[in-house]
Amino acid sequence: MTRPHNIRKKVEGYIVYILLCAGLALLLTLIPKKQTKTDTSPPPSPQQATRVYDRQYYEQQHDERCYVCTGSRSRKYHMTPTCPSSCRRSIIRLTVAEAIRKGYQPCHTCH
């Protein structure tokens, strides 16, 4: 017959083993995985750009487009259509060169 203190030592040993395994599993999930593929492809075309960020990146970098509020007191051009949040009229899209020719200046918030 086994003695009670021997059983207690075995149970404590199993508990320590289970806690160590759980801690190791937690550590393995927290370690970031190594990325093997590096993306060196050019930015997507407008047809391929599906996410809003990709479309905005493409428009800003390749089209050099900006957005202008058509209000009579509007004086700034913006890089995103949501920047002129106080615009009560429609927003049009121009090239940066056209906006500068028409007397618009860059917005200090989005530039």
Per-residue pLDDT of 39-49, as tens digits, reads 566 665 655 55
Q: For the beta carbon of residue 83, count every other beta carbon within 10 angstroms.
A: 19
Indicate the pTM of the whole model: 0.42
Token digits of residue 87: 């615009």
**Residue reference for tokens 């500068």:** 100
Torsion of CA 56, 89, 95, 54, to 10 degrees: 10
Radius of gyration of the chain (CA): 30
- On the question of pLDDT at 51 being above 70, the answer is no
| CA 37/CA 83 separation, integer angstroms | 35
Q: Residue 35: its pLDDT value, please?
A: 61
The per-residue pLDDT for range 53-62, each reduced to its tens digit, is 555 655 555 4
Helix (H) or strand (E) holding 54: helix 52-58
| CA 66/CA 80 separation, integer angstroms | 7
| CA 81/CA 70 separation, integer angstroms | 12
